[in-house]
A and B are shown apart, each in its own frame.
Chain A
Amino acid sequence: QKEVEQNSGPLSVPEGAIASLNCTYSDRGSQSFFWYRQYSGKSPELIMFIYSNGDKEDGRFTAQLNKASQYVSLLIRDSQPSDSATYLCAVNMDSSYKLIFGSGTRLLVRP
């Protein structure tokens, strides 16, 4: 079992819809959770991080964390074609500064 699991997709949504991206993790010691966006051929860029159970909103993005279920998600409201990218989920344990990444979910937003 991989430490961080994501559906590879592609997840295809129409412009203006809500895109829901999901991630599960295996290590209950994971403390902090990150969502990165990566355009093809580019490096990852941080969208959001969350470390408390519940929701965290930032503009069109909402991260949701459920530590009991070992589940973290990212909602993108009013999806735009420019949101088309691979979304990487990453986790971190406080004892280390490294990030453990999932394999990413490819999102396609259709105009």
Chain B
Amino acid sequence: DTGVSQDPRHKITKRGQNVTFRCDPISEHNRLYWYRQTLGQGPEFLTYFQNEAQLEKSRLLSDRFSAERPKGSFSTLEIQRTEQGDSAMYLCASSPPAQGAFGYTFGSGTRLTVV
């Protein structure tokens, strides 16, 4: 296991379409995080999971966004009815037990372009 894996790396979609991204964390990491980063800005927190439980969600995560981590392993982030403002890099990170914020490893991200 070499790191956090995200798929796809790039996604171009038409406005109004639904998209789903996948994140595979480092296997022994129990916490998984989703962030969104737009050009010239730092990553913005969206949500995080501890095992399969979604423990915190940002107000940025509108009704069109949903995230799951059904078996406490990989996670998916779905955006319904995409808008141009959703264009961004979506970053996934994971951290091991007892390290929390000190042990983040980020994936390479999924770049979403909504046209």
**Footprint of B on A, CB under 8 Å?**
4, 8, 32, 34, 42-46, 49, 88, 90, 92, 96-104
Contacts and interface: CB of A to CB of B under 8 A. Distances in A.
Contacts of A45: 106
A14 to B, nearest CB: 25
Given A43-B109, A98-B33, A104 B101 contact: no
6 contacts: A43-B91, A92-B100, A97-B56, A98-B48, A103-B40, A104-B42
B106 A98 contact: no
B40 A99 contact: no
A97 B95 contact: yes
Interface residues of B, number: 21
- Among B31, B43, B95, B107: residue with most chain A CB under 10 A: B43
B45 A49 contact: no
Contact of B56 (A43, A90, A98): A98
A96 B42 contact: no
Given A97-B33, A99-B101, A88 B107 contact: no
- Among B45, B50, B101, B109: residue with most chain A CB under 10 A: B101
B65 interface: no
B104 to A, nearest CB: 7
- Among B40, B104, B107: residue with most chain A CB under 10 A: B104
A101 B44 contact: yes
